[in-house]
Amino acid sequence: MAEAKQENPLRVNPLGGMSQFRRLFAFVQPYRRRLAVMLAAVVLGSILSLAGPYALQFLIDAVFSRGDATLLNQITLILIGIFALQSVVYFVRGYLLATIGERVLADMRVTLFEHLQRLSLSFFNERRTGELVSRLTNDVTTVRGVVTADISTALSQTLTFIGAFILIIVTNWRLTVFMLVLIPLVMLIAILFGRRLRTLSTAVQDQLADATTVLEEAIGGVRVVQSFTREAYEVGRFRQSIQQTLLLAFKRIRLSSLFGPLASFMGFAAVISIFWFGGHEVLAGRLTAGQLLMFLILTLTIAGSIGQFSSLWTGLQEALGASRRLFEILDAQPEIADAPGAPPLPPVQGRITFEGVSFAYRDNPAGAAILTDITLDVQPGEVLALVGPSGAGKTTLVNLVPRFYDPTAGRICVDGFDIRTVQVHSLRSQIGIVPQETLLFGGSVRDNILYGRLGASEAEMIEAARAANAHDFILQLPNGYETIVGERGVKLSGGQRQRIAIARAILKNPRILLLDEATSSLDSESEGLVQEALEHLMRDRTSVVIAHRLSTIQNAHRIAVLEEGRLVELGTHEELMAQDGLYARLYRIQFKLDESPATTSISAADAGPVTTPRRRSFSFLPGLG
Ligand code: ADP
């Protein structure tokens, strides 16, 4: 919405617009034959729409001037023929227009989606999901209008306009001049009114969007609202916002209620004036009654065309804005891409080496380093626990391994291969990731597990589910493996979702495992099952675990302690306790907290890059995180 507000139609560069249109027409290109047929229908339709009134004048004159019954019959037949042909042409035009439009729409969506899938994480960090979704839905629809409906309208209106004009000038130039004085006057008032109405409509929309934001916040944050007992405050906020919308809506209603009657009065007055002037021309013998009727019909046609042009212009501006937003996506280049000629990473043992790795997020205002000079060697098969206060950079460090981001200095090697020199796909295919919060896709449990390896057999999938301690609970679901989960399906508990994520990772069978342990507390039964599943998962793999549980830390071969982006301590639990540094201190605090009744997290909550919102804490003890 903020996007739309920034849009100033007057500032659209017409030349930039042209090149945008050229690019847009690339989408229509595959359907150019249909398009040509459609345009031919448009031309024919315009001619026929003029032929009707033209023939009509002879019909009237046959009756009133000549009293010729045979002529009357003939012209009636011709007119019926014209209208019949017109319907056929309109059908062809409408059908082709709609089908080409739908095809272009579908192609655009798929192209955009394909492109989005290739973009790097940093692109998504900088944009809101809702905005991207809106581009794929609303903007695409707006743009579709231009490349199909609008060109057809522009062509047909231009042709009709020119044709009608020539016809009336030829018929009676005096009346044409009279009409030329009258019409602009009426149009001007209509346009001024229209513009004001549009501004007001936009204002109403924007105001409504503000109210929607309040709504979204209050619904999304209902827990916060209720915990602070701020219901009345939120209602007040919403009411105020709605009140504003109402006031603007009233303003618009006043204007639009006035507009309708005024416009119809002006229209009728114009018609009668033309009739009056034309009547005198008829009396003077310079015009027949039939010609006067044709004149009136064509005048209305011309007025209609002018009206269409103005709305066409607005549509064009909107579409330019929408298409610019679409091309912005299509022009975004994935930051993380294969180096030219990069070979695939061969199957690895799973040794990970960080060599002097530093990193800063691009959008970080201060450009502050999030990671500084990390040097760390993780052996094949080792379980390394990452611990440290919230915001220390644990998630960021883990995200560098699958190249979600590239380090700003230093390098990361897997089995001695600098990961920037091999194909990204081959690297990621050997890495399994189990995030804190598991996203289940809308689909069956089976689909969700198979996401780990699409080609896996039924037996392999069930084996993975068993190893992840998920098989038993899955069988108890209403439809077993076919049960639909995700947004619209059965709601699973946190522990169940985690076990499905683990099954997914086991099925993928990667050499390297990156694990962000859930901080949310699970009931003790679930806790044990998840723990056991994780042990299965980590067996014989190199695992880097952002650890929150004591059991994980105790089972880890080594513990790496991060503080403000630096690796401050590295060793086993015993070694680090003996060092009596940060690790020992945090460990003791955690114990103390555990004994005191008011258990609080020692670090502030913050938002992470991969899963938001999430709770962050440094905790060792099961169920405490
Ligand atoms: P941890 O996992 O140890 O809690 P993170 O790696 O998530 O720490 O975050 C480290 C720092 O980087 C924090 O200050 C956080 O605010 C910042 N940060 C995390 N993700 C992003 C992002 N996508 N863009 C900018 N800053 C980020």
Q: What is the mean pLDDT of residues 246-269?
A: 88
Q: What is the mean pLDDT of residues 515-531?
A: 76
Statement: residue 179 has pLDDT above 70: yes
Query: What secondary structure letter does DSSP report for 10?
Result: G
**Higher-scoring residue by pLDDT: 269, 19:** 269
Find the range with the poorest average confidence among 188-192, 206-210, 516-520.
Answer: 516-520
Nearest-atom number in ligand 1 for the CA of 565 is 10
CA distance 519 to 223: 19
C-beta neighbour count of 504 within 10 angstroms: 25
**What SS3 state is found at 353?**
strand
Statement: residue 77 has pLDDT above 80: yes
Nearest-atom number in ligand 1 for the CA of 364 is 25
pLDDT at 554: 79
Which of 194, 253, 199, 242 shows the shortest CA–CA distance to 5?
199
Compute the distance from residue 369 Cα to the ligand 1 centre, in Å: 10
- Maximal CA-CA distance, the chain: 119
Compute the distance from residue 394 Cα to the ligand 1 centre, in Å: 8
Statement: residue 603 has pLDDT above 70: no
For the chain, helix, strand, coil in percent to 5 are 65, 10, 25
pLDDT at 14: 45
Compute the distance from residue 360 Cα to the ligand 1 centre, in Å: 9
Q: Is 608 in the pocket of ligand 1 (CB under 6 A)?
A: yes
Report which protein residue has its CA nearest ligand 1's atom 15. 391
The β-bridge partners of 353 are 377, 413
Mean pLDDT of the chain: 85
**What SS3 state is found at 8?**
coil
pLDDT at 285: 92
pLDDT at 520: 63
Q: What is the mean pLDDT of residues 66-87?
A: 93
| Best probe residue, ligand 1, of 396, 433, 561, 619 (max atoms within 8 Å of C-beta) | 396
Tokens of 75: 């012209």
Report which protein residue has its CA nearest ligand 1's atom 13. 391
Helix (H) or strand (E) holding 307: helix 289-331
- Report pLDDT digits (tens) over 357-379: 999 988 776 668 899 999 999 99
Q: Is 611 in the pocket of ligand 1 (CB under 6 A)?
A: no
Compute the distance from residue 129 Cα to the ligand 1 centre, in Å: 19
Cβ burial 103-117 (10 Å sphere, 16+ → b, else e): bbbebbbebbeebbe
- Report pLDDT digits (tens) over 308-347: 887 888 888 888 888 888 888 889 888 888 989 999 999 9
Tokens of 87: 């319907």
Compute the distance from residue 126 Cα to the ligand 1 centre, in Å: 14
Residues 6+ apart with CB under 8 A from 420: 339, 403, 406, 411
Statement: residue 351 has pLDDT above 50: yes
Sign of CA dihedral 15, 16, 21, 22: positive
Q: How far is CA 28 from CA 32, 464, 552, in A?
A: 6, 47, 57
Length of the chain: 625
- The reply to whether 347-430+510-596+609-625 shares the fold of 2-330 is no
Find the range with the poorest average confidence among 16-20, 180-184, 247-251.
Answer: 16-20
pLDDT at 519: 66
* Amino acid sitting at position 561: V
Compute the distance from residue 600 Cα to the ligand 1 centre, in Å: 21
Q: What is the mean pLDDT of residues 191-218?
A: 85
The correct CATH number of 347-430+510-596+609-625 out of 3.40.50.1100, 3.40.50.300, 3.60.70.12, 3.10.129.10 is: 3.40.50.300
Statement: residue 510 has pLDDT above 90: yes
Compute the distance from residue 443 Cα to the ligand 1 centre, in Å: 31
**Higher-scoring residue by pLDDT: 595, 250:** 250
The β-bridge partners of 543 are 383, 513
Which of 554, 547, 539 shows the shortest CA–CA distance to 502?
539
What class, spelled out in words, does domain 2-330 have in CATH?
mainly alpha
- Report pLDDT digits (tens) over 125-173: 877 777 788 888 888 888 887 777 788 888 999 999 999 999 999 999 9
Compute the distance from residue 336 Cα to the ligand 1 centre, in Å: 19
CA distance 438 to 426: 23
Statement: residue 445 has pLDDT above 60: yes
Count of helices and strands (H, E) across the chain = 22, 12
**What SS3 state is found at 447?**
helix
Segments making up each domain of the chain, as ranges: 2-330, 347-430+510-596+609-625, 443-501
**What SS3 state is found at 379?**
coil
| Best probe residue, ligand 1, of 359, 395, 433 (max atoms within 8 Å of C-beta) | 395
Find the range with the poorest average confidence among 248-257, 467-476, 477-486, 587-596.
Answer: 587-596
Q: Is 436 in the pocket of ligand 1 (CB under 6 A)?
A: no
The β-bridge partners of 355 are 411
Residue with tokens 């346009």: 191
Q: How confident is the model at residue 521 (pLDDT cuts 50, 70, 90)?
A: low
Nearest-atom number in ligand 1 for the CA of 121 is 23
C-beta of residue 371 within 8 angstroms of C-beta of residue 358: yes
Nearest-atom number in ligand 1 for the CA of 122 is 23
Q: Is 122 in the pocket of ligand 1 (CB under 6 A)?
A: no
Statement: residue 524 has pLDDT above 80: no
Statement: residue 235 has pLDDT above 60: yes
Nearest-atom number in ligand 1 for the CA of 397 is 6
CA distance 44 to 164: 14
Compute the distance from residue 130 Cα to the ligand 1 centre, in Å: 22
First to last CA, the chain: 38
CA distance 309 to 187: 12
pLDDT at 114: 92
- Give the β-pairing of 542-546 and 512-516: parallel
CA distance 195 to 185: 16
pTM of this structure: 0.72
Compute the distance from residue 342 Cα to the ligand 1 centre, in Å: 30
Q: Is 361 in the pocket of ligand 1 (CB under 6 A)?
A: yes
Helix axes 524-538, 494-508, angle to 10 degrees: 10
Residues 6+ apart with CB under 8 A from 586: 387, 389, 602, 618
Q: How confident is the model at residue 88 (pLDDT cuts 50, 70, 90)?
A: very high
pLDDT at 2: 37
**Higher-scoring residue by pLDDT: 607, 489:** 489
